[in-house]
């Protein structure tokens, strides 16, 4: 009898559902609203840092829910709620649209014109391309110039070795990351590694550990390792504008710690929160900043990184085929 009791007890234990499974929301407007609100409430990392009262936003948007009559209006309502976060890393993806917040660059001067950098004064038409990096020698052979428009494309040590070898006669280098909206953190780290002489702590990252708005893990060091064999040890200028975002923000942050490097241009667009994604019951994907990243002084990089030399693109210069920011960098590198 004892044996049977034990078996029954064990079976009851195995089949009983004692694990705290999260409550799943139904696929209704109300259910999807609740799911989205809760994902942000528990997982978005900047609610406290940005002083956002997410409960008030719930109230404001929830009372509009009864006015929603179709999927598009519901999407717009949800997208509107997310735009309150003022974060370029927050998006809602449906079958028919992607919500986005772009004021982090639309409200600022662009400070970049691709037409300018491909004039004969700079890259011209005969520039070289290696793994998405457009490069050439400018300023009468004195300065190497690389335009890096994305960190989504992989590049190898071989690519960089060839590029830097072609600049062997140059006394300085410009890396232009204006209008580079980001990509992979691995590539931003890799590109930075060629400009360090020793491994350096260039920042920190934390992640949410609980539902509370300030429940974060201890900071983890982000180390930029110096490349063992390829190192550019002459001056380098990094050109930035507001569209230097996300992984590019990370690259610029690393380069603030590189010896011989200066940042020239406009403040970067930020995007210091590493995004993760989740899903709503209706299958829409939500992307949101999940892990805040900091600079070496443990300051948040979400709102961007200030340049060492702040320069704007002058309309007069632009009209004359001159890129004010490149010119200022050339002067600074002399």
Residues that bind other proteins (CB under 8 A): 13-15, 17, 19-22, 24, 27, 35, 39, 43, 93, 95, 185-186, 205, 207-210, 217, 220-223, 274-279, 281-285, 287, 290-291
**Looking at beta carbons only, is 72 or 285 nearer to other proteins?**
285
**Looking at beta carbons only, is 15 or 319 nearer to other proteins?**
15
- Distance in Å, CB of 181 to other proteins, minimum: 14
- Distance in Å, CB of 245 to other proteins, minimum: 14
Beta bridge partners of 91: 287
- 3 state DSSP class of 331: helix
**Looking at beta carbons only, is 265 or 292 nearer to other proteins?**
292
- Distance in Å, CB of 282 to other proteins, minimum: 5
**Looking at beta carbons only, is 56 or 102 nearer to other proteins?**
102
- Distance in Å, CB of 297 to other proteins, minimum: 18
d(C-alpha 186, C-alpha 134), whole Å: 20
Non-local CB neighbours of 73 within 8 Å, separated by 6+ positions: 67
**Looking at beta carbons only, is 151 or 284 nearer to other proteins?**
284
What token pair was written down for 112? Answer: 């970049």
d(C-alpha 76, C-alpha 243), whole Å: 25
What token pair was written down for 28? Answer: 């209704």
Q: Taking the CB of residue 322, how many other CB atoms lie within 10 A of it?
A: 17
**Looking at beta carbons only, is 43 or 100 nearer to other proteins?**
43
**Looking at beta carbons only, is 150 or 162 nearer to other proteins?**
150
- 3 state DSSP class of 103: helix
- Distance in Å, CB of 325 to other proteins, minimum: 31
DSSP 115-126: HHHTSTTTT-S-
Query: Quick check: 323 and 122 in contact, CB under 8 A?
Result: yes
- Distance in Å, CB of 36 to other proteins, minimum: 11
Backbone φ and ψ of 293, nearest 5°: -110, 145
Backbone φ and ψ of 122, nearest 5°: -115, -110
Residue in 39, 20, 21 with CA at minimum distance from that of residue 31: 39
- Distance in Å, CB of 274 to other proteins, minimum: 6
What token pair was written down for 61? Answer: 């948007």
Give whole-number Cα distances, 312 to 79, 131, 325, 326, in Å. 32, 29, 7, 10
Non-local CB neighbours of 218 within 8 Å, separated by 6+ positions: 206
**Looking at beta carbons only, is 45 or 172 nearer to other proteins?**
45
Query: Quick check: 185 and 203 in contact, CB under 8 A?
Result: no
- Distance in Å, CB of 330 to other proteins, minimum: 35
Query: Quick check: 3 and 45 in contact, CB under 8 A?
Result: no
- Distance in Å, CB of 1 to other proteins, minimum: 18
**Looking at beta carbons only, is 227 or 287 nearer to other proteins?**
287
């Amino acid at each position: 009898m004892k044996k049977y009791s034990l078996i029954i007890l064990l079976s009851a234990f195995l089949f009983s559902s004692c694990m705290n499974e999260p409550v799943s929301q139904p696929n209704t407007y109300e259910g999807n609203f609740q799911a989205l609100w809760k994902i942000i409430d528990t997982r978005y990392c900047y609610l406290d840092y940005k002083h956002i009262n997410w409960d008030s936003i719930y109230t404001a948007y929830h009372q509009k829910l009864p006015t929603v009559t179709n999927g598009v209006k519901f999407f717009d309502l949800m997208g509107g709620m997310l735009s309150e976060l003022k974060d370029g890393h927050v998006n809602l993806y449906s079958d028919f649209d992607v919500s986005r917040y772009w004021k982090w660059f639309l409200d600022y001067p662009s400070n970049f014109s691709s037409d300018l950098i491909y004039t004969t004064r700079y890259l011209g038409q005969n520039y070289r391309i290696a793994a998405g990096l457009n490069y050439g020698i400018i300023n009468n052979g004195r300065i190497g110039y690389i335009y890096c428009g994305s960190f989504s494309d992989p590049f190898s040590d071989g690519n960089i070795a060839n590029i830097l070898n072609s600049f062997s006669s140059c006394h300085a280098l410009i890396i232009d990351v204006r209008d580079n909206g980001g990509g992979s953190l691995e590539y931003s780290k890799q590109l930075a590694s060629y400009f360090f002489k020793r491994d350096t702590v260039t920042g920190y990252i934390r992640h949410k550990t609980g539902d509370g708005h300030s429940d974060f893990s201890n900071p983890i060091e982000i180390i930029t390792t110096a490349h063992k064999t390829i190192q550019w040890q002459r001056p380098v200028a990094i050109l930035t504008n507001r569209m230097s975002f996300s992984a590019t923000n990370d690259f610029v942050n690393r380069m603030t710690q590189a010896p011989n490097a200066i940042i020239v241009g406009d403040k970067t667009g930020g995007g210091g929160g590493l995004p993760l994604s989740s899903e709503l019951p209706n299958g829409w994907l939500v992307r949101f900043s999940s892990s805040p990243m900091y600079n070496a002084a443990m300051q948040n990089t979400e709102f961007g990184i200030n340049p060492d030399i702040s320069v704007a693109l002058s309309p007069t210069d632009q009209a004359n085929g001159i890129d004010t920011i490149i010119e200022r960098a050339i002067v600074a590198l002399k």
